[in-house]
Amino acid sequence: MKKITLYDTTLRDGAQTEGVSYSLHDKIMIAQRLDDFGIDFIEGGWPFSNPKDQELFAHFKKHSLKKAKLVPFGSTAHPSRPASRDKNLQSLIDAGTEYVIIFGKTWDLHVKDVLKIGLEQNVRIIYESVKFLVKKGKRVFYDAEHFFDGYKANPGYALKTVKAALDAGAELLVLCDTNGGTLPWEVREVCEQLKLSSGISRFGIHCHNDLGLAAANSLMCVGSGCVHIQGTMNGYGERCGNTDLVTVIGVLQQKMGWQAVRPKKLETLTAVSHFVSEISNMAHRDNHPFVGRSAFAHKGGVHIDAVLKKPAAYEHVEPSTVGNKRRFLVSELAGKSTLVNKAKELEFDLDKKSPKAKKMHTLIQELEREGYQFETAEASFKLLMQKSFKKFRKFFDLLGFRVIVEKREDNRLLSEATVKLRIKKELELTVAEGDGPVNALDNALRKALLKFYPSLEEAHLTDFKVRVLNAKAGTAAKVRVLIESQDAEESWVTIGVSENIIEASWAALVDSIEYKLMKDSGK
């Protein structure tokens, strides 16, 4: 199997994502996870511009990665000083790595209108910057910034700039679609022209995703001389992001016959993708190819029936090869096959043709008409199945609850909840405060239950969503509440629907608690 090298720039380009801010510890954890996964090169950041990145390289001088090569990023020397006295280039040397990467201007527009220097001066700066680093014993990758725009505008000059880098000793030329505006067939055509007109037969590619084509552009030139792909995990990056290495790895290895990581490591692709999104504090895309929660989720009854018979009927790869899993979504669109399969997962025997299956299918359709959505709230669905099969053990009974929200003269809002429960034949009347009415209810419910079920201490709410289902009804509209909860082992989602947001929230809260207690009891 042919090998292609992967260069990850999550810690620099990915850190430029709106809403992402990595601590030093975050960067170290991501680098170590990518190293274990099998990424060849990890760009640690720009040490000249960021003290945090200097600390990162200092850390890895003492605690080196196992296999991946850590690479500092920088630019060609500033036009006002020679390469030998450029602090930016010196910071790359001080990083203490085997490899370094610098970018330079390829597009004459940037040279004239941004740098405001002469075209020949720019070529000289590129040559001298690379030469200086090579003389210092560094192996240099050269990022030809805006290469495709530059080549289309002035191909002769674009080639002159990259040849200067190669003549100075750059080990690899990386073609950059910095604006992300190039089309796949344009990428392929330029790469082919590059080989014919310059004799450059090996290069890397670095694409941005402003047209949603970064992965396609990166893959388009594989086989035409591209031996090195740069990108970020989950496609993070400024504006619309960078080439998504998660998708690229999946396509290279599953569809194109190239090896990006070892096959056993490919089975951890989903876990790595989720790990990076968690550290980045970014929601993981459900529809992310290969690794998303919905990537192998089937909702339509016809699809589900076919997949149960032959998975390849509606799946292009086996989910387990990328560490994902097949899911059948319970909804009004799904047939009885889904119910039978879900029942089997829960170790219940349900015949597709039985009156029980028909009754449950009708119940789900009725509940979805009311606003329930079990494809999202699988924990609530599991509880529904348990109760339908009369296998559910009741852990407590609600005798009543009350919620008070008070706004005081100092503009403080106070929420207080009182719950009255029967637990193991004992009455519990509990009061608790919270940041809001739902938080107060949650606190009161847990306070009442903890002495009977101490494992609830492990569980906590991680997300709370409210959606108005029929907005035209105004304040009388029905709402759907989804609550995500988590313990040390897993996360789960529960649902409540009502015209009253407190009642809907209560239903979702109770399901969350009951699901936790049910799984802890082993049922």
Mean residue pLDDT across the chain:
89
CATH number at residue 347: 4.10.430.20
Please, which pLDDT band fits residue 331 given cuts at 50, 70 and 90?
A: low
Q: Do residues 239 and 325 both lie within one domain? A: no
Task: Give the mean model confidence (pLDDT) for residues 36-48.
Answer: 96
Could you tell me which residue, 276 or 522, shows the higher pLDDT? 276
Considering the domain architecture, whether residues 9 and 108 belong to the same structural domain is answered as yes
Q: What's the structural domain count of the chain?
A: 2
Cα 493 to chain center, whole Å?
Answer: 19
- Asked, for residue 307, whether it belongs to a domain, the answer is yes
134-143: per-residue pLDDT in tens? Answer: 999 999 999 9
**Confidence check: pLDDT of 119 > 90:** yes
Contacts of 371 (CB under 8 A, 6+ apart): 469, 478, 480, 497
State the DSSP string of 47-91: TTT-HHHHHHHHHHHHS--SSPEEEEEEESPPTTS-GGG-HHHHH
| CATH number of the structural domain spanning residue 27 | 3.20.20.70
pLDDT of residue 521 exceeding 90: no
Q: Average the pLDDT over 383-408 and give the result.
A: 87
pLDDT given at position 336:
59
Same domain, 95 and 171: yes
For 292-304, the pLDDT digits (tens) are: 988 988 776 677 6
Cβ(383)–Cβ(518) below 8 Å:
yes
Are 52 and 182 members of one domain?
A: yes
One-letter-per-residue 3-state SS of 105-135: ECCHHHHHHHHCCCHHHHHHHHHHHHHHHHH
Q: Are residues 82 and 226 in the same domain?
A: yes
| pLDDT at residue 361, rounded to an integer | 76
Confidence of residue 111 (pLDDT cuts 50, 70, 90): very high
Q: DSSP letter at 501? A: H
pTM for the model stands at 0.72
Same domain, 73 and 15: yes
Q: How far apart are CA 147 and CA 176, in angstroms?
A: 5
Does the structure show a pLDDT above 60 at 74? yes
User: Which amino acid appears at position 423 of this protein?
Assistant: I
In-domain check, residue 79: yes
Decide if 80 is inside a domain.
yes
% the chain with pLDDT above 90: 64
pLDDT tens digits, residue range 409-466? 777 888 999 999 999 889 999 999 988 888 999 999 999 999 899 999 988 888 888 8
- pLDDT, residue 315, reads 84
Using pLDDT thresholds of 50, 70 and 90, give the confidence band for residue 227.
very high
Question: Does position 206 have pLDDT exceeding 60, yes or no?
Answer: yes
Output DSSP code: residue 472.
Answer: G
Task: Tell me if 338 is assigned to some domain.
Answer: yes
Assess whether 239 and 330 both reside in one domain.
no
Confidence tier at 474 by pLDDT (50, 70, 90) = low
pLDDT in tens, 336-357: 566 676 667 666 777 777 787 7
Give the domain-ending residue among 370, 400, 432.
Answer: 370
Distances (CA, A) of 517 to 264, 400, 512: 35, 21, 9
Which residue, 236, 261, 286, sits at the end of a domain?
Answer: 261
22 and 84: one domain?
yes
Residues 198 and 85 in one domain: yes
pLDDT over threshold 70, residue 333: no
Q: Domain for residue 455, yes or no?
A: no
Domain carrying residue 341: 297-370
**Predicted confidence (pLDDT) at residue 469 exceeds the cutoff of 80:** no
| Predicted pLDDT of residue 342 | 67
Residues 210 and 315 in one domain: no
Q: Is 35's pLDDT higher than 70?
A: yes
Q: Indicate the residue among 309, 337, 370 that finishes a domain.
A: 370
Looking at the structure, tell me whether residues 305 and 249 fall in a common domain.
no
Instruction: Evaluate whether residue 453 is within a structural domain.
Output: no
Yes or no: say if 60 and 11 are a contact pair by the CB < 8 Å rule.
no
For residues 246 and 353, state if they share a domain: no
- Residue predicted with more confidence, 451 or 331: 451
Has residue 160 been placed in a domain? yes
**pLDDT at 266 (0 to 100):** 95
Place of tokens 């492990």: 458
Q: pLDDT tens digits, residue range 76-95?
A: 999 999 999 999 999 999 99
Task: Name the residue among 336, 338, 323 with its Cα closest to residue 375.
Answer: 338
In a domain, 360, yes or no: yes
